Amino acid sequence: MKIDQPDPAETHVPLLRRFCIGLRMICGVRKQDFQAGATYRRMNWGDRPFLVRWFCFLKWALHQVFVAIPAAAECLRIDGPVSSTPLWLLDENPLANHPWHNADAKLPDTADAVVIGAGFTGAGCAYHWARRAPSDRRMVVLEMGDPASGSSGRNEGLVVVGRYFKMVYDRFREHLENSRAQFDATQRERLARQFARRYCEAAYYNADLIASTIRDEGFDCDYRRGGWVQGQEDVPTDSLRDSVAMAVAEGFTDWTSISPEEAGERSGMRLTNPAGFSIAAASWHPAKWVWCLLQKALSSENVELFTRTEVTVVDRDADGYIVRTDRGDIRCRSVIYATESYTPKLLAQFRDKILPMQEQAASGDGGPPGMKPHVGISGTWWFGGRYAQHVLFGAGGSRVPDEEAGRNLPSRFLSRFVGLQILHYFGPYRLAMKNEWSGTVGYTPDEYPVVGAIDGRGQHIIGGMCGSGSGVSFNGARCICNRILGLADEPDHYPAECFAPSRLLDPDNHQWPAMDQPEK
């Protein structure tokens, strides 16, 4: 790979130090390193014979450990203790242990709706419920930790518009080819276009809804709409051109191509090829966004929050559901699962339907002098960004078992690997790593979200967002709350034929969109 070969004139690390760094990495290899390595091996050489695949991977790995990564050792310094606390959770959580600091606090016996999870999605549900519901209809939000303590507080700090049109189209069509034999090639093509169109319509609205909510409510969450530069030097130029053209032809203009010079001006990256650019993306403090939404919702009369309260099971009864927790039971008419990668733990039918995928990040002081602040930055295998005096960087994408959803076990090898990528894209730098963490996001087999009713009664889910939680959760929460409340005066961007869980749980009986005629 081109990005694995930094200019040797840019850094100089003595041979003995290179060997010692490599030896420490080998001695420190853990389970998560093997999982990350398996993902990388599959993505790069998965179509080759078994022995060839392993030979290529071992050759690459040894080169990384003893040659490439040590070259960046003087750039990314890891000299002292490294905390596993995410950058975004270094700030004091204003809703920690809410409301249990009050000795008289207790769970209510009943509610109209119960939301499980208080991250992006759960906080969005609370906000929209407080905004729209009558005072006599109460929502209870349950969180097993503290608000934003899961993936919502462990990410790269971007508000994304989500996946661009061609990416959604390609992934969905490929899934149909491998799993839905009843559709012919024309039907698969039309379905993939419809699904990509619905995704992008919802994501565009979501991005603008977040921006207007922050502005109108005066939320202090460090929001800056500076876009997202994606410098993928090993991706053919015509591939980027085709993806932009396809999106524009469908009426979606957020995803565009910029010259290497403009990419450098916006991000500080040194590129030779055009870069992808998402115009509407923004940087923010994701945990503060969650806290702001919840604090606003709690100022109403009909939303309650209970942290450090773990849901163990949801049972059905004659009038609705019984949500059983380690602090007591709540009877309700509706349940919203805002549990993302944790979903299979509560709903067995989502095993192998919502897949926990580990992503990780690290942060420190310093970083490349030319790295611009408040703009999303990424390469093929990494992401990063500058936030005040801190630089955040990371990567990810390895599948973990359902029971390990939410684990905080980052790979040191992966952090050092990303440090090498930063050297290639920005040149020599000095960054002292202080924090390193991981979390899990939910992927679906077709890499398309689920937003809708689970059982045809009162259970709903918003999940499977494939690492684009900020691009789906807020608008999805609005639509689900409106459905439960029976309100139809706002647009609903998540039609059941595309987003309903039956697409994954019962595809043979799922009501797929009409495919007789191409959409105008």
DSSP codes of every residue in 333-376: EEEEE--GGGHHHH-GGGTTTSEEEEEEEEEEEE--TTPPBSSE
**Structure tokens, 332:** 């309700």
Closest CA to 138 of 9, 305, 367: 305
Between residues 7 and 76, the one the model is more confident about: 76
Q: What gap in Å lies between CA 182 and CA 244, rounded to an integer? A: 31
Specify the pLDDT at position 408. Answer: 95
Question: 459-475 pLDDT, tens per residue?
Answer: 999 999 999 999 999 99
Average pLDDT rounded to a whole number, residues 63-71 = 83
The average confidence (pLDDT) of the chain is 92
* Ranges assigned E (strand) in 176-294: 228-230, 255-258, 275-278, 282-283
Q: Quote the distance between the C-alpha of residue 138 and its chain's center.
A: 29
Query: Phi, psi (5° rounding) for residue 298?
Result: -70, -15
Question: 22-64 pLDDT, tens per residue?
Answer: 888 888 787 777 777 787 788 788 888 888 888 888 898 888 8
pLDDT at position 439 over 50: yes
Q: Which of 65-74, 192-201, 437-446 has the lowest mean pLDDT?
A: 65-74
CATH code of the domain covering residue 217:
3.50.50.60
Residues 457 and 512 in one domain: yes
Specify the pLDDT at position 50. Answer: 85
Average pLDDT rounded to a whole number, residues 218-225 = 97
Q: Which residues of 213-243 are buried (b: 16+ CB within 10 A; e: fewer)?
A: bbeeeebebbbebbbbbbbbbebeeeebeeb
Residues 159 and 219 in one domain: yes
Average pLDDT rounded to a whole number, residues 126-143 = 97
Specify the pLDDT at position 517. Answer: 52
Q: Is the dihedral of CA 166, 169, 172, 178 positive or negative?
A: negative
**Per-residue DSSP letters for 413-442?**
HHHHHHHHHHHHHH-S--EEEEEEEEEEEE
pLDDT at position 246 over 90: yes
Residues 347 and 455 in one domain: yes
pLDDT at position 320 over 60: yes
Question: 343-379 pLDDT, tens per residue?
Answer: 999 999 999 999 999 999 999 999 999 999 999 999 9
- HEC-encoded secondary structure of 5-44: CCCCCCCCCCHHHHHHHHHHHHHCCCHHHHHHHHHHHHHH
Specify the pLDDT at position 6. Answer: 41
Domain-located, residue 520: yes
Q: What gap in Å lies between CA 88 and CA 360, rounded to an integer? A: 13
Domain-located, residue 266: no
With beta carbons less than 8 A apart as the criterion, state whether 376 and 278 touch.
Answer: yes
Question: Looking at this protein, which amino acid is placed at residue 164?
Answer: Y
Domain-located, residue 507: yes
Give the whole-number percent of the chain exceeding pLDDT 70. 97
Question: 448-459 pLDDT, tens per residue?
Answer: 999 999 998 999
Give the whole-number percent of the chain exceeding pLDDT 90. 78
Query: Phi, psi (5° rounding) for residue 196?
Result: -65, -40
Domain-located, residue 13: yes
Strands 255-258 and 275-278 turn out to be: antiparallel
Q: What gap in Å lies between CA 282 and CA 290, rounded to an integer? A: 16
Domain-located, residue 250: no
Specify the pLDDT at position 12. Answer: 65
pLDDT at position 103 over 70: yes
Question: Looking at this protein, which amino acid is placed at residue 228?
Answer: W
Residues 303 and 452 in one domain: yes
* Ranges assigned E (strand) in 444-473: 450-453, 459-463
Q: What gap in Å lies between CA 392 and CA 14, rounded to an integer? A: 28
**Structure tokens, 465:** 């967002």
Pick the last residue of a domain from 443, 462, 488. Answer: 443
Pick the last residue of a domain from 443, 476, 502. Answer: 443
pLDDT at position 100 over 50: yes
Range of the domain at 165: 107-223+286-352+447-520
Domain-located, residue 32: yes
Residues 373 and 344 in one domain: no
Question: 375-418 pLDDT, tens per residue?
Answer: 999 998 899 999 988 999 999 878 999 999 999 999 888 999 99
**Structure tokens, 1:** 């790979």
Closest CA to 88 of 506, 493, 355, 470: 470
Average pLDDT rounded to a whole number, residues 217-227 = 97
With beta carbons less than 8 A apart as the criterion, state whether 462 and 451 touch.
Answer: yes
Query: Which DSSP symbol is given to 59?
Result: H
Q: What gap in Å lies between CA 193 and CA 108, rounded to an integer? A: 46
CATH code of the domain covering residue 35:
3.30.9
User: Confidence band (pLDDT; 50, 70, 90) for 514?
Assistant: confident
* Residues constituting the chain: 520
Specify the pLDDT at position 85. Answer: 97
With beta carbons less than 8 A apart as the criterion, state whether 135 and 302 touch.
Answer: yes
pLDDT at position 99 over 70: yes
Pick the last residue of a domain from 398, 418, 443. Answer: 443
Residues 63 and 132 in one domain: no
Q: Which of 133-147, 396-410, 482-496 has the lowest mean pLDDT?
A: 396-410
pLDDT at position 187 over 80: yes
Question: 375-386 pLDDT, tens per residue?
Answer: 999 998 899 999
**Structure tokens, 197:** 């169109």
Residues 112 and 204 in one domain: yes
Between residues 74 and 279, the one the model is more confident about: 279
Environment class of 181 (CB within 10 Å of its CB; exposed 0-12, middle 13-18, buried 19+): exposed
Closest CA to 365 of 333, 334, 388, 384: 388
